[in-house]
Amino acid sequence: MDIKTKAAIGGSVFVALIAGTAIGQTNPDEGATEPTTVATTVTRTVTADPTLQQRKDARAKLRDLRSRATDARADASSAARRERRSRSELRELKAQISTTSDQVAMSSFEGDGTFVVNEDILPGTYRAAASPGCYWETGRGSGAETLDNIIANDNTDGPVVVQITPDTYQIKVARCSTFERTG
C-alpha cells in the first residue's frame, strides 16, 4: 500500500455495516409480523507507518549531505589548485625581486675601492659627480697594477664617465664620488 492510500485511510476510517434483519414478531392483535431493523457500526483506525516516513526523510537528508560533501570536496580541490598556482607565482616574483635587487646593487659603487665586474658591478657606462683628485682605472685580470693589464685610467677633478666592458675584470677608484650606472 503506498503512502497516499495510507494517508487516505490514516486518521480514522469508519466503516458502517448496516444489516437489516427482519425479525418476525407476532402481534397478538393483528396476527401480522412487524419488521425490526438492527444496525451495527464497526470503527477501524489505521495510521501510516511512522518508521517508513522517517526512513524516507533520512534518505533525503543523506542525499543532501552527500551532495554538500561533493561540493565541498570540489571547492577544496579548486582552492588547493589556486593555492599551488599562487605559491608558484610568489616564488617566481621573489626570484625576480632577488635578481632585480642584485642588479640594482651591482649598478652603483662607492668612490673608493676595487670592484670586480659581474661580481660587484655589472658591465656598462657609469657616471660620477665631480670630486677633486678622483682617480679611476679599469683592468684585465686581478693584477691590474702592471701597465699591460690597464685598459683605461684617468685622474680628474671634474665629472667622470667610465665605460666598463664585459671583458673588463675590475675597476679601481680613489677619492671619487659614487658611480651610478647609466647604460
Nearest residue to 179 (alpha-carbon basis) of 85, 119, 114: 114
Q: What average pLDDT does the chain have?
A: 78
Length of the chain, please? 183
Does 51 have pLDDT greater than 80? yes
Summarize pLDDT for 55-93 with one digit per residue, the tens.
Answer: 999 999 999 999 999 999 999 999 999 999 999 888 888
Task: Give the model's pLDDT for residue 129.
Answer: 95
Residue 154: how many other CB atoms lie within 10 Å: 13
Q: What angle do CA 30, 36, 42 make, to 5 degrees?
A: 175
Q: What angle do CA 127, 133, 138 make, to 5 degrees?
A: 50
Distance CA 70, CA 59 (A): 16
User: Which value, in Å, is the radius of gyration of the alpha carbons in the chain?
Assistant: 53
Of the two residues 38 and 19, the one the predictor is more confident about is 38
Q: Where are the domains of the chain?
A: 3-44, 49-105, 109-181
Contact at 8 Å (CB) between 149 and 140? yes
Task: Please name the helix (run of DSSP H) or strand (run of DSSP E) that holds residue 90, with its range, or none.
Answer: helix 50-105
Summarize pLDDT for 163-176 with one digit per residue, the tens.
Answer: 999 999 999 999 99
Task: Give the model's pLDDT for residue 115.
Answer: 92
The rounded percent of the chain whose pLDDT value lies above 90 is: 47
The rounded percent of the chain whose pLDDT value lies above 70 is: 68
Distance CA 52, CA 181 (A): 85
Task: Give the model's pLDDT for residue 8.
Answer: 44
Contacts of 157 (CB under 8 A, 6+ apart): 130, 131, 132, 133, 134
Does 123 have pLDDT greater than 50? yes
Task: Give the model's pLDDT for residue 2.
Answer: 52
Task: Give the model's pLDDT for residue 99.
Answer: 72
Task: Give the model's pLDDT for residue 50.
Answer: 73
Summarize pLDDT for 130-153 with one digit per residue, the tens.
Answer: 999 999 999 987 654 667 788 999
